[in-house]
Structure 1
Amino acid sequence: MTELVINRIFDAPRELVYRAFVDPDQLAQWFGPVGWSVPRDSVVVEPHPGGRHCYTMVNDADPSQTVTIEATFTDVVPNELLDGAAVAPDGTKMRLRLEFHDEGGKTRLVLRQGPFTEELAEMTRTGWGSSFTKLDDLVAAR
């Protein structure tokens, strides 16, 4: 099992990037790889320790294909950190940690997620990359 680590620079202040993760309206606009959508009415974000983080991704080509994520925040520092846990369908406890760093008006996001098999880690990396392309567009428009 491996932990996925992604470093990504967004051309926007960290407050805007952080808000895109905790504002349900914004999360619904960008989350999920290209070809998948997140209906706004499926999103619950309670950014505090013990708060829920839930949403459903729907395949645009085949709406019968859905993925529902239900996680709990374990640690939150506004504009700096979102840390949470979820239980995968196979019972594996998964962790997602997002660190938001100021890079002179830009944001360096450090994402840590896992544990994964090597194959699932690469699929997840690809999914995040596709999602982040949509996030780039959202924060650039602000």
Structure 2
Amino acid sequence: MTNPTADKELVITRIFDAPRELVYQAFTDPDQLAQWFGPVGFSVPRDSIDLDVRVGGHERFTMVSDDDPTFTSPVDATFSEVIENELLVGAEDWEGAPGQSATKGMYMRIEFHDEGGKTRLVLRQGPYTEEIEAMAREGWNSSFTKLDTLLSD
């Protein structure tokens, strides 16, 4: 990343009322990912998702604005560490955040911890500028609200 002010790490911890295997599956199954990923007002068309969940594998998809389908935000990530039902680590490139340029080589770490039949998810992502970190936090929390609904079905 070339922006020297982008030094803020996003950290979100959230408890999901579902076993970690189900939460992990929601991140790694294309059909489920299409049902919840993206903040309210965005969707991820199933046909845009290409997942190969293994070390050296990838995650590619495109978020699309529900109000303006010409506004899209493609994501292209490569997995560097995968432990089934426990951990996803990788680097990602994305573009299309409103008023922002493309970001290259951002890291992502998602941990899935068993909490007695529930899952404590810890997400780390960055680096961000302070402004973009706040937008990303809002977007993830909105997405996680959609994931709560999917997991409760």
Quick check: TM above 0.5? yes
1:58 aligns with 2:64: yes
Give the structure 2 partner of residue 44 of structure 1: 50
Match among 71, 74, 77 for residue 71 of structure 1: 77
1:86 aligns with 2:92: yes
1:23 and 1:97, CA in 2 relative to 1: closer, same or farther beyond 3 A?
same
Give me the whole-angstrom Cα distance separating, in 2, the residues matched to 1:91 and 1:32.
17
Q: Once the 2 structures are TM-superposed, how far is the Cα of residue 88 of structure 1 from its aligned partner?
A: 4.7
Give the structure 2 partner of residue 129 of structure 1: 141
Q: Which aligned runs of 4 or more in structure 1 are off by greater than 6 angstroms?
A: none
Give me the whole-angstrom Cα distance separating, in 2, the residues matched to 1:24 and 1:92.
23
Q: Percent identity over the alignment?
A: 63
Q: Is the 8 A contact 2:89 2:108 kept in 1?
A: yes
Flag structure 2 segments of 5+ consecutive residues without an equivalent: 1-6, 96-101
Q: Secondary structure at the match of 2:54?
A: coil
Equivalent residues, number: 141
Q: Is the 8 A contact 2:48 2:61 kept in 1?
A: yes
Match among 117, 126, 141 for residue 129 of structure 2: 117
Flag structure 1 segments of 5+ consecutive residues without an equivalent: none
Q: Once the 2 structures are TM-superposed, how far is the Cα of residue 86 of structure 1 from its aligned partner?
A: 1.6
Match among 3, 9, 16 for residue 3 of structure 1: 9
Q: Counterpart of 1:108 in structure 2: which amino acid?
A: R
Give me the whole-angstrom Cα distance separating, in 2, the residues matched to 1:29 and 1:74.
25
Give the structure 1 partner of residue 110 of structure 2: 98
Q: Secondary structure at the match of 1:95?
A: strand
Q: Counterpart of 2:115 in structure 1: which amino acid?
A: E
Give me the whole-angstrom Cα distance separating, in 2, the residues matched to 1:15 and 1:7.
17
Summarize deviations over 1:92-128 as a string: whole Å, max 9, x none.
4200100000000000000000000011001000000
TM-score (norm 1): 0.96
Q: Counterpart of 1:44 in structure 2: which amino acid?
A: D
